[in-house]
């Protein structure tokens, strides 16, 4: 019996260790800039920062004002929300819902991610766009890629 308990404890510990490696996914720098242009309030979230125009942006996960104080303020900041925060902002502020789904792709013999974008109306929803339907065969290899692409689409075409 002790051997069974040891095995169960090891399995539980392995699952706990795997959960600690899961991190939040943030929007890309390009998407963060679009969100800022469209009015996303990002004062107290992680931020991309850069020291001069054209420098490579670096994701900073500490509170932005604290970071500015440490660096003397000679930097530019662009708020960097998680993918989920950006999707929630689109849904709550602009009534735009992004649905992500996975499908088995028979033509490619693998899974692929797709997105569907709808406007939330008072009396229902209105279809806006989809990528990944069986007709266009355009699927994304990861959930995060489909999510990022859908968010960019909304920012560029719908807001």
Distance CA 58, CA 47 (A): 8
Q: Tens digits of per-residue pLDDT, 103-142? A: 876 666 778 898 999 999 989 888 887 776 555 567 888 9
pLDDT of 52: 46
Q: What is the pTM of this model?
A: 0.73
* Contact call for residues 76 and 43 (beta carbons, < 8 A): no
* Chain centroid to CA 92: 16
The CATH code of domain 82-159 reads 3.30.160
Q: Tens digits of per-residue pLDDT, 54-69? A: 556 666 665 555 445 5
Residue matched to tokens 């998407």: 31
């Amino acid at each position: 019996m002790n051997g069974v308990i040891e095995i169960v404890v090891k399995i539980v510990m392995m699952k706990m260790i795997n959960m600690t490696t899961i991190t939040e996914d943030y929007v890309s720098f390009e998407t963060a800039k679009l969100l800022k242009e469209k009015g996303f309030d990002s004062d107290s979230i992680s931020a991309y920062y850069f020291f001069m125009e054209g420098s490579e942006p670096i994701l900073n996960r500490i509170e932005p004002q604290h970071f500015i104080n440490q660096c003397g303020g000679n930097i530019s900041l662009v708020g960097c929300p998680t993918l989920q925060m950006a999707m929630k902002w689109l849904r709550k502020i602009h009534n735009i819902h992004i649905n992500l789904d996975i499908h088995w792709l028979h033509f490619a013999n693998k899974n692929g991610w797709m997105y569907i974008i709808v406007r939330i109306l008072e009396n229902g929803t209105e279809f806006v766009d989809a990528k990944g339907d069986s007709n266009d065969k355009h699927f994304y290899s990861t959930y995060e890629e489909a999510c990022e692409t859908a968010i960019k689409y909304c920012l560029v075409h719908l807001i």
